[in-house]
Structure formats: C-alpha cells, structure tokens
Amino acid sequence: MFAGLMRQRWIRWDQFSTLAKPLRARLQAEVDLSWPAIIQSQGSSDGSTKHIFEMGDGRQIEGVHMPYDDRVTLCLSSQVGCAMGCTFCATGQMGIIRNLSSAEIVGQVVAMLNHHAHPLDRPVNLVFMGMGEPLHNFDHLMAAFEVLTDAEGLAIPPRRITVSTSGLVAGIQRMGSLARRPRLALSLNGTTDEHRSRIMPVNRVWGLEALAEALGRFPLQSGERITLEYVMLKGVTDSLEDARRLAAFARRFPSKVNLIPFNAHEGSGYEPPEESRIVAFCRCLSEAGLPVSVRRSRGQDVGGACGQLVREGQSRHPKIP
Ligand code: SAH
Ligand code: SF4
C-alpha cells in the first residue's frame, strides 16, 4: 500500500491519522521539500513554452521558457497566488496560497533548463515576473538567489536576474542594502495615487512619492537602471497625460521604461490599448529622453503571458482519494 501512496506526491502525510505523529511529520517534511516537477508543457507559436509545475504538496505554479537567438529568459514564480490583489492580474485574483521555498524557486530553473537540454555555454536570464510578489517572500527569494548565482550552484551572474515588484518599499530598501543583489524592476502601472490605488491596492500603503524616494536612494552600479514596467489598460492608464506623468516620475532616478500592453484574460473587465495609442505613448516617452521598449508578451496564445498565470481549481487542502 505504501509504495502506491508514495507515488502520489501531493498526499498530506500530516493528516494520515493511522501513522505515528513524528513519522507523519517527517514524511510530510520530505514531500514539502521536494522539488517542483513539470507536469504539463505548452509550446506557443512564438517559440516560448509555458510549464506547469507540481510541488510536493500538490500545489501548482507556472514558469515560462523564452528562447532568443543567443540566450534564454526564464520567467519564474515566487509564490502560489499573490496577496497584492492588483485588479488587472489573473494571479492577483487567486489570492495568496503560500510562499515558495527557496528549493522550489531554484527547482523551476533546473527543471526548465533540463527539459530544454539547455547548452551550458548559453546565457540564462531570470525574471521574477511569474506568479507572486517576490519581495513578499524576501528570505526565500534571496536564499534562492545565492544558490542561483554561486559558482558552486548555477553560476548565473546577478546582473542577469531581475526581480519585479509591485512596490513594497520595505523590501526595496532591504534589497538595496545587500552587497550582492538582483536587478530591480518596479510595476508602476499608474501615474497618480488615485489611479494607481484603484488598480494596485498596495499603493494605499506605499504611494508614488514613497516609491520615488525609495528608488532615488536605491544604490545602483554604474550603468545600471531601474526598469519601470507600465501595463497599458485601454481608457484607464493609456492617456498621453499618463505618459507625461510617467516621464516625470522616471526622470527622478536612472531608469528605463517597459510598456506592457494589457494581456486579456477572462472576467478582468479591462481591454488592451489601441495600437496607435501604444505608438503615441511610446513616442511621448522617448521624446522626453527616456529609454523605452514595448513588451510584446510571449506565450499569449497558451495563457503564459504577463498576468495570465493562474492555476484554476486548486483546492486549499488536496484530499486523499
Ligand atoms: N508581482 C510582481 C511580479 C509579477 S507580475 C509585480 O507585480 O511586479 C509581472 C508583471 O506583469 C508586472 O509588471 C505586472 O504589472 C504585469 N501584469 C500583470 N497582469 C498583467 C496583464 N494582464 N497584462 C499585462 N501585464 C500584466
Ligand atoms: Fe501580484 Fe504582481 Fe499580479 Fe499584482 S501584478 S497581483 S503584485 S503578481
């Protein structure tokens, strides 16, 4: 019986009342610590692949493998769900289920590189832009960063790792105080406190002024810039006044702007901007002297683009059948 049960990775050993308590705890700890396994992969027409991982407790997360000519970028999750509740984001609508362990964060990288038989000499970029708010899971994130960057670990240079945050100022300050750290990206998405608070509840705790001050004090290396991500929502965040206010915000510290046209998902109530508006918005920022790019999100046709990541039907307590 036990061999069969052991194969079911998601079993809750701690609820297995016929076993002695210490044994239950030990078995559960082993399961909880096990690395995420790829259980489903979906290739997109643009060459990227969305992977679904299952962890020891049966929870599922997603990661995206995006190959370019000379390198690969992996988009990683940091939590199951997210507590931040941004109104335009599918993950935000799930709520928070739990933090990932550092092993589960590193495990996503190892599993994706193995799955794609990644050649060792080809550079790897990591972006924490999957499910979750990475700075809300600070300790596990930074423990994973150590393994990912260590010469004895995956030896990925710190400058190739980017952490994207919705704006947790305490976490930004903590990250800024580290001698070795990833690069920072901020999801700005709104240019007045009123607008930003409406779509990103975290703005009610740390508003735009607090963010600008924290980013202004963030110690940068020479040539380093903070990425400002900006999701364009039709009729909500895509006006040319927004572009001008965004430019004024971005000029307060070395930055580059990454515009992300909204990726639609069911029931969000938002729409992507018109193409002509993306062009005009972009022009307004570059005329203000800012480096700006438009992120044509990859994996859209398989639901793997920014803000589309959600694992449906995850019950809070997987049951023993
Ligand atoms: N929680 C972190 C990182 C994950 S979200 C953060 O918010 O920064 C990664 C990026 O996807 C963020 O810039 C977020 O604003 C953006 N995003 C979320 N939902 C989106 C959607 N539906 N369309 C386009 N971008 C989205
Ligand atoms: Fe969380 Fe980022 Fe989605 Fe906001 S945009 S809900 S912080 S994952």
Q: For the packed helices 208-217 and 169-176, what is the interaxial angle rounded to 10 degrees?
A: 0
Which domain CATH number covers 203?
3.20.20.70
What are the CA-CA distances from residue 35 to residues 107, 162, 211 (Å)? 5, 22, 35
Average per-residue pLDDT in the chain? 90
Confidence of residue 11 (pLDDT cuts 50, 70, 90): low
Q: What is the 3-state secondary structure (H, E, C) of 108-139?
A: HHHHHHHHCCCCCCCCEEEEECCCCCHHHHHH
The answer to the question of residue 116 being in a domain is yes
Residue 265 CA, ligand 1 centroid: distance in Å = 13
The answer to the question of residue 55 being in a domain is yes
Q: What is the mean pLDDT of residues 226-235?
A: 98
The answer to the question of residue 311 being in a domain is no
The answer to the question of residue 308 being in a domain is no
Q: Is the pLDDT of residue 1 over 70?
A: no
Closest listed ligand to the CA of 268: 1
Binding site membership of 263 for ligand 1 (Cβ less than 6 Å) = yes
Q: Is the pLDDT of residue 7 over 80?
A: no
* Structure-model confidence comparison of residues 15 and 183, the more confident one: 183
Residue 263 CA, ligand 1 centroid: distance in Å = 10
Residue 168 CA, ligand 1 centroid: distance in Å = 14
pLDDT given for residue 23 in this prediction: 84
Residue 286 CA, ligand 2 centroid: distance in Å = 27
Question: What is this structure's pTM?
Answer: 0.89
pLDDT given for residue 34 in this prediction: 67
Q: Which atom of ligand 1 is nearest to the CA of 307?
A: 19
Binding site membership of 126 for ligand 2 (Cβ less than 6 Å) = no
Q: What is the mean pLDDT of residues 207-227?
A: 98
The answer to the question of residue 237 being in a domain is yes
Return d(Cα 96, Cα 316) in angstroms, integer: 11
Q: Which of 4-13, 50-59, 234-243 has the lowest mean pLDDT?
A: 4-13
pLDDT given for residue 12 in this prediction: 67
Domain containing 75 equals 3-10+25-302
pLDDT in tens, 42-74: 999 999 999 999 998 889 999 999 999 899 999
The answer to the question of residue 297 being in a domain is yes
Binding site membership of 306 for ligand 1 (Cβ less than 6 Å) = yes
Q: What is the mean pLDDT of residues 213-239?
A: 98
Q: Which residues are catalytic?
A: 62, 306
pLDDT given for residue 30 in this prediction: 66
pLDDT in tens, 92-104: 999 999 999 999 9
Binding site membership of 257 for ligand 1 (Cβ less than 6 Å) = no
Q: Is the pLDDT of residue 320 over 60?
A: no
Count of domains for the chain: 1
The answer to the question of residue 262 being in a domain is yes
The answer to the question of residue 317 being in a domain is no
pLDDT given for residue 128 in this prediction: 98
